[in-house]
């Protein structure tokens, strides 16, 4: 496989399938190539070893098993191993049986905790039962071995745990019912606990892809979900309630080993495993894990630092030093970080002189950057309490890194700690005289800040003006940068998050600053109203301004319109007949029909019908609208947003003369003339509904007087709320407050319910 396609899973599967149909002499190189890239692929090892077993090549089979078994805790691979052992030892009699028993014990010590190891336990128990017994003593030994195997199997959470328990019950009862009662009662709680653990464990195991190949981490969803699945399984094993003694740590070790078969290239899994071993008190085991990790990931600096930290923490300084030296490696490939960390290691463990000696060597390395100078200088200053050495180191580095603004700022911070304001000013002057204009921005900023904090007023203003002059060619405002603004004053008299003005003032000044920068540019009015920075629409950009920002495409907000459902493509309106029916059903509430119209309800848009005949739906609605409501709709302004301004609408309502309508005269609508009396305008305006008085002979004078009294009360109420009876007022807010006060006096709760615009029932007063 090509180097660029090294971890291509599809190509690997094709090669493995092709090798199945080739003679072993031709297939062996393919398997070796695959297993070099995927050393933990148990399915490829099994395929390889079965090919060797198929041609009875026992020596090659043994060699392959010795290479893969301990790194691939995979039950099918280990069962293949036990088949090979049994085949080899079948003809050796008692000696061969003993070798097979040892092989079973060896296998179960590694994969006996696997959730899929149930068949292995059954095969082992069956093998023990088949062993010959020449005398009573041997029979007793055989029964004891079978009993121990059962007792280990029934406390291991496997897929076959219930079947193993039934077999164990039958075995004990077949030997001695009296003895079985005590033994079974002893192991019953342990079995129940293991079965409960199995049910929980199965939930995590089912999420794992056991055919996955170990490849480096990718961003694919599948790989990430497998990582999550393994982390969940490991967390479960660490919190397993069945862990009652130190021997139970074997399950955690087993889970980590299995996890590394699939997440072999994940450094966090290696680190987690080694850290757990160290916290458990197994420092030697943790060291072995780190050694294996570096063999799997030799380029991982993280694991090398972690391993060196472990060795240093347990006092193995020589081993740790070798690891740091391996990080240094070739001088041309050594990273700056490796130099810094090795200096710190030497300072911690071998003293000041060893660190100084290595620093003098490291500064000659071609990979040495200003970071090494800064790190060693601060180490001398903070740890060795030697400011003179630190000052000399900074000065030595200044000769080589005067062009690095970050180094200048680090040196300035050090001088600030020494309260050496004279040398700080000298440092800034030296740096600004040599730095290019585009690289001096941060240095000018720090210089200005220093003068604002520690300088007098004259030096403060002078440095600020010099900064503007020096950076005027690199800023967007060009010549306008030389002008003094109020923002400069705010910057001078602020401290950390404290400002000499409010946030509202800051917003206002920032907007003014933006406007001043764009005075000579063509800016949309929408940008001025929204206060947002717009793209310069002029054809030529000011001198000194980078054209990169002009290439950014921004939306033209001036072309944005309010969404109107009628503009949706494919929207159709019912036919004339349906429209007439809808209009007739909404005549009692014309607002419900007109509420979805355009911003000006009287614009009368033409609506296309299904049958192709154009008709004006709003004209039909407006013909059936009472004069007062029509006048109200005509006086409404155009809506430029999701909702109109309430104060503006109220002002229009209160300052317009609507046609007066007699309360007792009902306005007949065209579609209601034949159907019966039409509702009065008071119905539409939200006052009490009027009911037609029946003209039958059963109507009594008392009812007539009651009806007159109600009409009179309704008329007085309408006259008291009529706007025309009040003088016109220009202050809409005061008008609204007066109306609210009037409504509050008429209601004990003081609230005014406006009802629903769709139902057409308005309760309370008009305001």
* DSSP character at residue 157: -
Residue 128 and residue 144: Cα distance in Å, rounded?
Answer: 10
Q: How high is the pLDDT of residue 334? A: 73
Percent of the chain whose pLDDT exceeds 70 = 66
736 — pLDDT class (breaks 50, 70, 90): low
Which has more confidence, 356 or 3?
A: 356
742 token code pair: 């009037």
Token pair 């029909």 is found at: 593
CA atoms within 13 A on the CB side of 295: 8
Q: How confident is the model at residue 658 (pLDDT cuts 50, 70, 90)?
A: low
Long-range contacts of 391-398 (CB under 8 A, 24+ apart): 391/418, 396/363, 397/370, 397/373, 398/430
177: burial class by Cβ within 10 Å (0-12, 13-18, 19+)? exposed
Report residue 114: phi and psi, to 5°.
-65, 145
Band of the pLDDT at 633, cuts 50, 70, 90?
confident
Q: Is the pLDDT of residue 61 over 60?
A: yes
Task: State the average pLDDT over residues 369-385.
Answer: 95
Please determine, for residue 703, whether its predicted confidence score (pLDDT) is greater than 80: no
Tokens of 680: 């009065």
Question: pTM of this prediction?
Answer: 0.66
pLDDT of residue 527 exceeding 70: no
The dihedral sign for the CA sequence 727, 733, 737, 743? positive
CB 657 within 8 A of CB 724: yes
- Residue of 289, 290, 285 lying closest to 246 (CA atoms): 285
End-to-end CA distance of the chain: give it in Å, rounded.
82
CA angle 570, 574, 577 (to 5 degrees): 160
Tokens of 385: 């309490």
**What does the pLDDT read at residue 722?**
43
Query: Which has more confidence, 517 or 311?
Result: 311
Mean pLDDT of 180-208: 94
- Residue 552 has what pLDDT? 55
Q: Which residue has the higher pLDDT, 463 or 650?
A: 463
In angstroms, the CA 580 to CA 586 distance is 10
Mean pLDDT of 666-680: 41
Q: Which of the pair, 5 or 664, is modelled with greater confidence?
A: 5
**Which of these ranges, 145-149, 233-237, 436-440, 584-588, has the smallest mean pLDDT?**
584-588
Mean pLDDT across 106-112: 95
Do 342 and 358 contact (CB within 8 A), yes or no? yes
Residue 497: is it exposed, middle or buried by C-beta count within 10 angstroms (0-12/13-18/19+)? exposed
Let me know: does 261 contact 213? Beta carbons within 8 Å: no
Q: What percent of the chain has pLDDT over 90?
A: 53
DSSP 687-723: SPPP-PPP-STT--HHHHHHHHHHHHHHHHHHHHH-G
| pLDDT tens by residue, 427-475 | 999 999 999 988 999 999 999 999 999 999 999 999 999 998 888 866 5
- Name the phi and psi angles at 134, rounded to 5: -80, -25
CA dist 615 → 321, 597, 600 (Å): 92, 15, 18
Dihedral angle at the C-alpha atoms of 227, 228, 231, 237, nearest 10 degrees? Answer: -120
Higher pLDDT, 552 or 368: 368
Q: Which regions of 23-120 does DSSP assign to beta strands (E)?
A: none
As given in the structure block, the two tokens for residue 339 are: 């130099």
pLDDT at site 416: 94
Cβ burial of 166 (10 Å; 0-12, 13-18, 19+) is exposed
Identify the residue with better confidence: 122 or 699: 122
Q: Point out the least confidently predicted range of 116-120, 420-424, 514-518.
A: 514-518
DSSP conformation letters of 419-440: T-HHHHHHHHHHHHHHS-GGG-
Looking at every residue in the chain, the average pLDDT score rounds to 77
The pLDDT confidence band at residue 591, using thresholds 50, 70 and 90, is very low
In this predicted structure, what is the pLDDT of residue 297? 95
Instruction: Flag whether pLDDT at 683 surpasses 50.
Output: no
pLDDT band per the 50, 70, 90 thresholds, residue 511: confident
In this prediction, residue 300 carries a pLDDT of 93
Which pLDDT score, from 0 to 100, does residue 111 have? Answer: 95
pLDDT for position 488: 84
Alpha-carbon span 447 to 467, nearest angstrom: 9
Query: Which positions ≥6 away from 278 have C-beta within 8 Å?
Result: 286, 310
- Given a cut of 80, is residue 566 above it in pLDDT? no
Of 114-128, 162-176, 332-346, 641-655, the poorest mean pLDDT is in 641-655
Min mean pLDDT across 270-279, 327-336, 596-605, 715-724 is at: 596-605
- Per-residue confidence band for 215, with pLDDT thresholds at 50, 70 and 90: very high
Q: Give pLDDT tens digits for 271-303.
A: 999 999 999 999 999 999 999 999 999 999 999
pLDDT at 598 over 60: no
Q: Quickly tell me which residue has 């009027």 as its tokens.
A: 690
Tell me what pLDDT residue 657 has: 67
* Least confident segment among 111-125, 481-495, 680-694, 727-741: 680-694
- Say if residue 626's pLDDT is above 80: no
d(CA 19, CA 40): 18
pLDDT band at 720 (very low <50, low <70, confident <90, very high): very low
């Amino acid at each position: 496989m090509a180097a660029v396609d090294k971890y291509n899973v599809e190509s690997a599967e094709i090669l493995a399938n092709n090798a199945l149909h080739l003679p072993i002499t031709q297939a062996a190189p393919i398997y070796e190539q695959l297993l070099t890239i995927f050393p933990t692929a148990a399915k490829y090892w099994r395929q390889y070893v079965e090919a060797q077993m198929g041609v009875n090549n026992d020596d090659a089979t043994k060699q392959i098993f010795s290479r893969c078994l301990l790194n691939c805790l995979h039950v099918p691979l280990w069962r293949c191993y036990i088949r090979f052992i049994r085949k080899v030892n079948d003809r050796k009699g008692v000696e061969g049986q003993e070798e097979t028993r040892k092989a079973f014990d060896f296998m179960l010590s590694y994969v006996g905790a696997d959730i899929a190891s149930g068949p292995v336990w059954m095969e082992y128990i069956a093998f023990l039962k088949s062993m010959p017994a020449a005398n009573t003593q041997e029979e007793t030994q055989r029964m004891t071995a079978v009993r121990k195997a059962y007792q280990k199997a029934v406390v291991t959470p496997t897929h076959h745990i219930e079947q193993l328990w039934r077999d164990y019950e039958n075995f004990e009862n077949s030997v001695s019912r009296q003895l079985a009662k005590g033994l079974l009662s002893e192991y019953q709680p342990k079995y129940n606990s293991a079965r409960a653990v199995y049910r929980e464990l199965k939930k995590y195991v089912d999420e794992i892809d056991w055919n996955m190949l170990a490849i480096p981490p990718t961003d694919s969803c599948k790989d990430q979900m497998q990582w999550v699945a393994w982390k969940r399984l490991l967390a479960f094993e660490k919190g397993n309630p069945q862990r009652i003694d130190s021997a139970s740590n074997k399950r955690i070790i087993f889970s980590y080993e299995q996890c590394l078969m699939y997440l072999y290239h994940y450094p966090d899994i290696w680190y987690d495993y080694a850290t757990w071993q160290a916290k458990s008190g197994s420092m030697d085991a943790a060291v072995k894990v780190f050694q294996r990790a570096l063999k799997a990931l030799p380029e991982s600096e993280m694991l090398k630092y972690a391993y060196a930290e472990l060795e240093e923490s347990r006092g193995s300084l020589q081993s740790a030093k070798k690891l740091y030296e391996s990080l240094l490696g070739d001088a041309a490939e050594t990273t700056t970080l490796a130099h810094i960390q090795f200096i710190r290691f030497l300072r911690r463990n071998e003293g000041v002189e060893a660190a100084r000696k290595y620093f003098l060597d490291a500064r000659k390395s071609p990979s040495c950057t200003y970071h090494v100078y800064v790190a060693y200088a601060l180490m001398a200053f903070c740890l060795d309490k030697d400011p003179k050495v630190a000052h000399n180191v900074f000065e030595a580095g200044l000769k080589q890194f005067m062009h690095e603004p970050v180094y200048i700022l680090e040196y300035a911070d050090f001088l600030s700690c020494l309260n050496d304001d004279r040398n700080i000013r000298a440092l800034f002057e030296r740096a600004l005289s040599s730095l290019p204009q585009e690289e001096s921005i941060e240095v000018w900023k720090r210089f200005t800040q220093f003068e604002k904090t520690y300088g007098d007023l004259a030096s403060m203003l002078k440095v600020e003006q010099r900064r503007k002059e020096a950076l005027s060619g690199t800023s967007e405002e060009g010549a306008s940068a030389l002008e003094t603004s109020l923002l400069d004053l705010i910057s001078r008299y602020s401290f950390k998050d404290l400002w000499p003005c409010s946030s509202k003032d800051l917003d206002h000044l920032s907007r003014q600053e933006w406007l001043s920068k764009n005075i000579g540019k063509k800016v949309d009015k929408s940008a001025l109203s929204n206060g947002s920075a717009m793209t310069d629409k002029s054809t030529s950009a000011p001198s000194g301004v980078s054209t990169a920002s002009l290439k950014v495409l921004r939306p033209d907000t001036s072309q944005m319109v309010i969404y109107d459902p009628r503009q949706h493509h494919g929207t159709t309106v019912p036919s004339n007949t349906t429209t007439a029916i809808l209009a007739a059903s909404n005549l009692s509430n014309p607002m419900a029909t007109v509420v979805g119209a355009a911003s000006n309800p009287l614009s009368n848009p033409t609506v296309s019908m299904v049958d192709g005949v154009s008709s004006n739906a709003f004209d039909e609605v407006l013909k059936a609208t009472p004069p007062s409501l029509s006048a109200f709709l005509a006086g409404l302004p155009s809506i430029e947003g999701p909702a109109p301004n309430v104060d503006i609408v109220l002002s229009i309502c209160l300052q317009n003369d609507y046609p007066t309508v007699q309360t007792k005269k009902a306005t007949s609508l065209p579609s209601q003339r034949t159907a019966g009396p039409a509702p009065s305008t008071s119905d539409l305006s939200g006052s009490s509904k009027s009911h037609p008085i029946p003209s039958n002979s059963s109507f009594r004078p008392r009812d007539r007087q009651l009806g007159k009294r109600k009409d009179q009360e309704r008329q007085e109420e309408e006259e008291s709320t009529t706007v025309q009876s009040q003088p016109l007022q220009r202050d809409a807010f005061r008008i609204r407050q007066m109306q609210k006060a009037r409504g509050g006096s008429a209601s004990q709760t003081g609230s005014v319910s406006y009802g629903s615009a769709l139902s057409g029932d308005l309760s309370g007063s008009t305001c």
